[in-house]
Structure 1
Amino acid sequence: MSKYVSYEQAGVNIDANDEMVERIQSSLASTFGPRVIALPGGFAGLFRLDYDEKLFKKNYKNPVLVACTDGVGSKVQLAAKARKFDTVGIDLVAMSVNDMLVIGAEPLFFLDYVALHKLEPALVAELVKGIAAGCRMADCALIGGETAEMPDTYRKGDFDLAGFAVGVVERDKTITGKKVRPGDVILGLRSSGLHSNGYTLARNICFKQARLKMNDVLDELDGTTVGETLLTPTRIYVQPIVKLLTKYKVKRVVHAMAHITGGGLVGNIPRILPKDCNAVLKKSSWPRPKIFPFLQKAGPVEEDEMFRVFNMGIGYVLIVAADFADSIGRNLQRWGEKVNRIGTVTAGSGKVVLKN
C-alpha cells in the first residue's frame, strides 16, 4: 500500500476541472463582443474600454464604473433537487444586472463563482450555459469565473452560485431618484414569477406545509409542475430599459427606477423616493402570476406579508414624468415588456402606500 496521498484522494479532481474548462469555452465565447480581448489560459479576463467610435455605439465623456454582486439564494436547492441546472445561471446574471440598471448603467461584463461538493463537468457546463444565456440577454460579456470543489464544505449534491457584474454610466446621467416629485406616474414591468426572492418561505409552504413534490402537477398553476413554476428564471430588463434611456437621453423623463427583489415593492421603492414623497400603489392594477395566490392560500400567508416578501408580479418599477407615461409604456410594450400603470407619487414621508 502506498504511503503517499493525492489531491484526488482528498476529494478534489484536477482532471475533472480541466474537462470542465474545455466544456464551457463555447458558452463564454458566445457572449464576447469587440471589447473582449482574448487571453487563452489567462489568470484574468481582459475588457477594452471604449476607444473607437467606429467600433462602439456609444462613447462616454465622463464614465463611471458600476459594480454589483449577488447570488440566487436557496433557489439553487430546488435546481439541485430537480437536477435542472440550465436556468439558475440566468437568475444569477439577472440579480446583478437589473440592480445596476436602476441607476442608468449598462452592463459591460460578468464573472461567476461556482462552489460545489464534487466537480461534475457536465453539471458545471449546464450552469455556465445558463449564465451565458443571461449575459446575452443583458448584452454583457462573460469573461471569466471560478469553480471551487469543496467536499468538506458542501454536502453531496449541493452547490452555490455568486455573480459579479461591472457596468458603466455617464456621470451626469446617473438616475438617483432626486427628480421624483408628486404627480409622477409609477409604471410596473411584470415579473415572470418569484424571480429569486422569498424561496425560503416558498419552499416551506410547498414542501413542508403542502407536502408537494417537484413533479406534482397543479391545476392552480395552469397544469405546470411545482418545479417548473419555482424554477422559472428571473426576467432580465436590460435591453428595453437601455433602449428607453437612449430614446429619452435629452429629456430626463425617467426620474427613478427600482429592481423589486427581497423586501418586495414596499421595501424597494422607498430606496428611490425623496423623504417628502410617497408611492401610492393600486394593488388591483396588475395581474398576479398564479404562484402568488397559490402560496398565499396554501400557507396561509397574510397579504401584507406577501407584499413584504415577494414581488407579487412586478419585477421592475419606473417612476416617470406624467406627461410621458403613456409614450414610455407604449415603447416598453413594443420592446417586449408587459407594462402596467400601478400608481402615482404623492406628497408624503418616503413610504409605499398600498390601496385596493
Structure 2
Amino acid sequence: MVKAAVLGASGGIGQPLSLLLKTSPLVDTLALYDVVNTPGVAADLSHISSVAKTTGYLPENDGLKEALTGADIVVIPAGIPRKPGMTRDDLFKINASIVRDLVKGIAEHCPKAFVLIISNPVNSTVPIAAEVLKEANVFDPKRLFGVTTLDVVRAETFTQEFSGQKDPSTVQIPVVGGHSGETIVPLFSKATPAFQVPEDKYEALVKRVQFGGDEVVTAKNGAGSATLSMAYAGFRFAVSVIKASKGETGIVEPTFVYLPGVIGGAEIAEATGLEFFSTLVELGKNGAEKAINILEGVTEKEKQLLKACTEGLKGNIEKGVDFIKNPPPK
C-alpha cells in the first residue's frame, strides 16, 4: 500500500500533479493539502475511476497532520510565483518559510517518507529541508530529493531533431548541477544513445535548457509559469521513486541530493566543492542508493559550464542553510 501526499495540491503545479498521481496504479491513497480549495480538488479527482482513494485537507482541524500521517512519499510543489513589484529576495523568504513549515510537519508526522521538493528555488529549498530534518534528528539524506527532472525532460525534447528518436524520452541525457539558470548543466556528450549537437547550435541549445522556464512565462504573457510540464516531471520522478521502493532495480534518475549522505557522493562533493548537487542517482528500496559520478571525461565546453554552475550553486546552498541557522526577523 502506497500513500502519497501532495503539499500545495491546489496550485498550478499541484492540481495536474495530483491528477497524474490519481491515475497511477502505484498509488493506493492520495492525500492533498493546501491552504485553500483542497476539498474541492479532492472531490473532483475522487470521481476518477482509478485505484487511489483521494482526500483533501485544509490547515484547520489538523489538516497537515492528517495528510501526512502514514505517508510513504511526499511531493511539495507549494509556494507562490513572483508577482509584480516583488523582488527575488521577497519571493525567496516567502517560499523558504512555506517549505520550512511543511517539512517541520513531515519531521513530526512521517519522518521516514521520501520527500520530493519542487518548490523553487530548489537550490535553496532542499538545503532548507535538510536543515529542518537535521534539527528534528530525523534527516536521512537518501530520502530527500530536489526534483530537477524538468531540466532533463527539456533536454530530451529540445534535442529530438539531433537524436532522431521518435520518442525523445528514450534518450538519457544527464543534466547535472542545480535547478536554475546557469546552475543547470546538460551533458550532451554523455547522452545515451549518443548523438552530435552541431557546433553552431550548441550554445543556444544549452541556454534553452537552462532558461526554458522563461520561454513559458513569455508565451503565457507573464500570467503563469511552467506548471503542466513541471507537474509531468514531478510525476515522472515520483513514479521512479515508488517503483524503486517496491523493489524494481536499475532505476537511475538525475536528482538534487545531499552528497555526503549518499554512497558515491563524497567523490562528487570533492570534485565540485559542494554538499548538494544534482547528479545521476541509482534509486532503491531506501531511496538514493548510489550517486554516480559522470563528471569525468566531459568536454571543455562542459567544464566551463560546470565552473559557472558551481560558483552560482554555492551561494544558493549557503542562502538556504543560513535561512534556518540565522532566521530573518519576522
> Which band: TM-score by shorter chain?
under 0.3
Q: Which has the higher contact order (CA 8 A, sep 6+)?
A: 1
More strand by share: 1
Q: From the CA coordinates, give the structure whose radius of gyration is larger.
A: 1
More helix by share: 2
Q: TM-score, normalised by structure 2?
A: 0.28
Q: TM-score, normalised by structure 1?
A: 0.26
